[in-house]
């Protein structure tokens, strides 16, 4: 178990909670279990309770407003954070997020996401930490500790098994008891035991026939077995049952106020379908949360006073990114012979006369996945920005391909504002937009009364960037009218009938008209939008978008230009990426291919210049058919707003510190688990049991992945010297045998006795511990890794209990799950 110091409850909390509860009538208590709006809870001044604010999320603290007018720091994605394999660093991430929360008056952060990378097709893969429950738990412990030690609450999410997005509101995930315990519940158990999180979020999905907000059995596991004593909030719009949800321990149905609680709950009590005592139990947990975050009068918050801001947040964001980058391949360029041929990385700035930087994502940085994790950073450093800052005019850019195959929110060349219009035609001042996306979630600007809202107007000037045929479109349920220079070019309705209220917005837009425009021309754009109704079950929200695509360049010409740039350069760096229409909340991926003609681009550049490095700017695995043809591959995930600066530093010599948190297949067909689409009956069967990720690859043993779990190269060399096991601790010594100071992640795995008899089988190897170290050339470092009892157990479905796997186990230490260099036998 990890040793974290976490805020303790003050001794007067219980008395304060009971005193506040006694001042509340049934109607007020029922109201407290529903949100006041999209992001705030209901206040009860008579009990000294103020409203509390919650906010997404895992990548940055957006706050109440989904707008570029209220910017937020954009961190590397959670998969990137976990790729550091460094709980100490992740704790600092938590501190930074808490500081951002305080700045935005946020009491509770809706994070971390501790679902697993069950399939590489999962749409929110980038938002979760790992395929391994132990690594997920360790990273999440540090994240929660870092946030809560600064007085801001966290919510572990999504409880439980929200591992895919397809039909997430209705899918019934059918999971065996053993897999549920060993894999999907394990991170929640670890975090609860280690750091006492103040909240949990129950998922949209059903598990084994019961919706999670009403799943009393699994909530009892969390509370009674694991010891969780925090509050339970629904995912947004997930609560569907008044009596079942309140009696299962759902404390807060969000968003409000129109939920299954409130008046519905009062009626249920008065009609005898549930009891006021059941309501009181849930209200106590809301009041306890309020005491912890300082929202209840008469008691001191768990962490008193406002915390100091984090010094140099941009510097910390660069450090996080550097430590997350995974050097997947680093070979001598093709055509270089001899044993002394040096790997292509790091690059030596003094030796570079011309560097070709290629790819649309090199210029338009891809720093986020799509969906509720979206934030609006104050600035973004692209790879082109970062490398030009380091190398100046020696960097030559070529676009290479047109990445976007679908229409996207209007952005480049657009200067836009948006405002609501009241029924009488009056309107508050407009607010600026970073793109054509409008997301008024739970509020209307200018304090416009929802009953007085008529429509929204998005308008501004488009300075045309490219001559040719431009495509305009819309997205969002409702009536749209788009005008160019005062002429109506489209007027009509968009109707979406799916189950997911956000899918109509997070999904692709719809083309509406085409118009020929000339570069340099300025046109006036106006988009009037009237929703049919506010999204049902949600507070008044307006979600719509003006979409646009520039004339598509001739891609053959773009590739030829990129090849010419590469041929004339000492080094070619190609940045490949996915898009928000590939990796996002609300839908799953259909394949693992890079969008567009990026694979063709890489192959052509590599053929022109053997000194080619590919930067893979994605949140989750992609196929790399060109992997054998390039000298270097660097995985940078979604690296946050400072990603371009961090990339330049790593390419030019800073140690790439990351290790894979999930196994990357060569092709989708090779992946052991790919099912994310439910059956016609609405069921998604987890038939693979405990064999996901590297467990499945090793258990199956028929194909090799592109890169194993834990993989990541260094700019120096390491020798693993000794491994000893003494009781509940393993000690590993490693030596830096290279010429540079470096960073290593020492990984410890356990393999059971081959004669072990476990019903359903047991994985050949399981992660049992790890330690991130740094060492100078020639330096030897010893690390001590504790061994937990749980590492030697499996969940017995016959006895419904953890059971030891006897016999002789083997401890193995090394650089990844398939590169284990030392072994030691031990008795369980």
Task: Tell me the C-alpha distance between 213 and 235, whole Å.
Answer: 9
Which neighbouring-strand residues pair with 820?
814
Two tokens, residue 390? 């380091």
Two tokens, residue 589? 């991926």
Two tokens, residue 305? 């006073």
Q: Which of 202, 100, 186, 185 has the alpha carbon at shortest distance from 146?
A: 100
Catalytic residue, chosen from 167, 235, 437, 599, is: 235
Two tokens, residue 41? 């809870």
Tell me the HSE value of 367 on the side-chain side, using a 13 A CA sphere. 30
Distance between terminal CA atoms of the chain? 17
User: What distances in angstroms separate CA 205 from CA 140, 161, 255, 643, one per listed residue?
Assistant: 22, 8, 17, 34
Q: Which of 431, 432, 439 has the alpha carbon at shortest distance from 529?
A: 439
DSSP state of 636: -
- Could you tell me the sign of the dihedral formed by the alpha carbons of 666, 667, 672, 675, in that order? positive
Task: Tell me the C-alpha distance between 159 and 231, whole Å.
Answer: 13
Tell me the HSE value of 474 on the side-chain side, using a 13 A CA sphere. 28
Q: CB count, 10 Å around CB of 635?
A: 28
Distance between alpha carbon 441 and the CA centroid of its chain, in Å?
A: 20
Task: Tell me the C-alpha distance between 582 and 244, whole Å.
Answer: 36
Residues 6+ apart with CB under 8 A from 101: 55, 61, 107, 109, 147, 152
Task: Report the number of secondary-structure helices (H) and strands (E) in the chain.
Answer: 19, 36
How would you write 189-230 as a 3-class SS string? HHHHHHHCCCEEEECCCEECCEEHHHCHHHHHHHHHHCCCCC
Is 132 catalytic? The answer is: no
Diameter over CA atoms, the chain: 85
- Could you give the 3-state DSSP secondary structure of residue 289? helix
Backbone angles phi, psi at 762, to 5 degrees: -135, 150
Distance between alpha carbon 258 and the CA centroid of its chain, in Å?
A: 28
Angle between helices 276-293 and 13-22 (to 10 degrees): 130
- Cα Rg of the chain (Å, integer): 27
- Could you give the 3-state DSSP secondary structure of residue 821? strand
Backbone angles phi, psi at 163, to 5 degrees: -100, 0
Residues 6+ apart with CB under 8 A from 814: 720, 747, 749, 820, 821, 822
User: What distances in angstroms separate CA 423 from CA 291, 426, 481, 530, 564, one per listed residue?
Assistant: 42, 7, 17, 12, 58
User: What distances in angstroms separate CA 593 from CA 17, 121, 479, 564, 577, one per listed residue?
Assistant: 54, 11, 35, 25, 10
User: What distances in angstroms separate CA 684 from CA 118, 167, 176, 754, one per listed residue?
Assistant: 12, 10, 12, 32
Backbone angles phi, psi at 345, to 5 degrees: -110, 145
Q: Active-site positions?
A: 235
């Amino acid at each position: 178990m990890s040793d974290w110091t976490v805020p303790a409850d003050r001794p007067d909390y219980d008395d304060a909670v009971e005193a506040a509860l006694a001042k509340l009538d049934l109607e007020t208590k029922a109201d407290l279990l529903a949100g006041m709006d999209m992001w705030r809870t209901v206040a009860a001044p008579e009990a000294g309770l103020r409203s509390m604010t919650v906010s997404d999320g895992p990548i940055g603290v957006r706050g109440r407003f989904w707008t570029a007018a209220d910017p937020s720091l954009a961190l590397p994605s959670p998969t990137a954070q976990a790729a550091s394999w460094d709980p100490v660093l992740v704790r600092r991430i938590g501190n930074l997020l808490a500081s951002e929360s305080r700045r935005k008056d946020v009491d509770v952060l809706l994070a971390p996401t501790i679902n697993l990378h069950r399939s590489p097709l999962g749409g929110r893969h980038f938002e979760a930490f790992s395929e391994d429950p132990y690594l997920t738990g360790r990273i999440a412990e540090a994240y929660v500790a870092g946030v809560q030690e600064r007085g801001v609450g966290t919510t572990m999410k999504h409880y439980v098994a929200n591992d895919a997005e397809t039909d997430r509101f209705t899918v019934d995930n059918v999971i065996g008891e053993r897999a549920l315990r060993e894999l999907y519940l394990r991170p929640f158990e670890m975090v609860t035991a280690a750091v006492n999180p103040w909240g949990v979020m129950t998922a949209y999905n059903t598990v084994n026939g019961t919706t999670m907000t009403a799943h009393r059995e699994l909530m009892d596991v969390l509370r009674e077995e694991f010891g969780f004593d925090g509050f339970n909030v629904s995912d947004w719009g997930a609560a569907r049952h008044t009596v079942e949800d309140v009696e299962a321990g759902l404390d807060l149905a969000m968003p409000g106020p129109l939920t299954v609680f409130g008046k519905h709950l009062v009626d249920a009590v008065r009609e005898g379908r549930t009891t006021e005592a059941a309501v009181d139990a849930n209200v106590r947990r809301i009041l306890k949360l309020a005491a912890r975050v300082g929202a209840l009068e008469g008691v001191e918050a768990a962490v008193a006073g406002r915390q100091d801001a984090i010094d140099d947040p941009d510097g910390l964001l660069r450090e996080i990114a550097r430590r997350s980058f995974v050097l997947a391949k680093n070979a001598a360029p093709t055509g270089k012979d001899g044993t002394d041929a040096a790997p292509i990385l790091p690059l030596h700035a003094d030796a570079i006369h011309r560097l070709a930087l290629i790819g649309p994502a090199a210029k338009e940085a891809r720093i986020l996945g799509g969906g509720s994790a979206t934030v609006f950073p104050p600035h973004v450093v692209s790879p082109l920005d970062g490398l030009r800052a380091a190398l100046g005019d020696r960097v030559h850019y070529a676009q290479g391909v047109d990445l976007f195959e679908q229409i996207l929110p209007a952005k480049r060349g657009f200067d836009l504002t948006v405002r609501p219009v009241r029924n009488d035609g009056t309107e508050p001042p407009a607010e600026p937009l970073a793109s054509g996306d409008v997301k008024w979630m739970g509020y209307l600007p200018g304090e416009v009364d929802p009953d007085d809202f008529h429509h929204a107007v998005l308008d501004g000037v488009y300075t045309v960037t490219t001559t040719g045929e431009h495509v305009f479109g819309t997205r969002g349920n409702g009536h749209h009218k788009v005008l160019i220079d005062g002429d109506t070019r489209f007027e009509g309705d968009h109707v979406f009938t799916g189950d997911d209220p956000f899918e109509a917005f997070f999904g692709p837009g719809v083309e509406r008209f085409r118009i020929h425009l000339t570069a340099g021309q300025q046109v006036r754009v106006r988009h009037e939008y009237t929703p049919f109704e506010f999204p049902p079950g949600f507070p008044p929200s307006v979600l719509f978008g003006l979409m646009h695509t520039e004339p598509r360049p001739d891609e053959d010409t773009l590739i030829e230009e990129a090849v010419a740039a590469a041929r004339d350069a000492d080094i070619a760096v190609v940045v490949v990426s996915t898009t928000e229409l590939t990796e996002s909340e609300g839908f799953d991926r259909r394949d693992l291919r890079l969008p567009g003609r990026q694979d063709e681009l890489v192959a052509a550049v590599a053929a022109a210049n053997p000194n080619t490095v590919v930067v893979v700017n994605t949140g989750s695995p992609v196929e790399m058919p060109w992997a054998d043809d390039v000298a270097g591959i660097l995985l940078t995930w979604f690296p946050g707003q400072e990603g371009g600066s961090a990339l330049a530093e790593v390419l030019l010599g800073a140690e790439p510190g990351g290790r894979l948190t999930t196994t990357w297949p060569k092709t989708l067909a090779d992946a052991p688990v790919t099912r994310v689409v439910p059956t016609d009956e609405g069921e998604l069967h987890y038939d693979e049991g405990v064999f996901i990720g590297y467990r499945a690859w090793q258990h199956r043993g028929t194909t090799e992945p592109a890169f194993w779990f834990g993989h990541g190269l260094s700019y120096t060399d390491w020798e693993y010297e000794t491994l000893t096991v003494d009781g509940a601790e393993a000690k590993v010594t490693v030596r830096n045998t290279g010429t540079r100071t470096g960073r290593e992640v020492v990984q410890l795995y356990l393999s059971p006795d081959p004669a072990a008899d476990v019903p359903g089988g047991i994985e050949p190897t399981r992660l049992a511990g790890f330690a991130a170290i740094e060492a100078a050339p020639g330096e030897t470092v010893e690390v001590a890794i504790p061994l937990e009892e749980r590492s030697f157990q499996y969940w017995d479905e016959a006895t419904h209990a953890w059971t030891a796997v006897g016999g002789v186990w083997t401890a193995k230490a090394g650089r990844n799950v398939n590169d284990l260099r030392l072994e030691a036998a031990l008795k369980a």
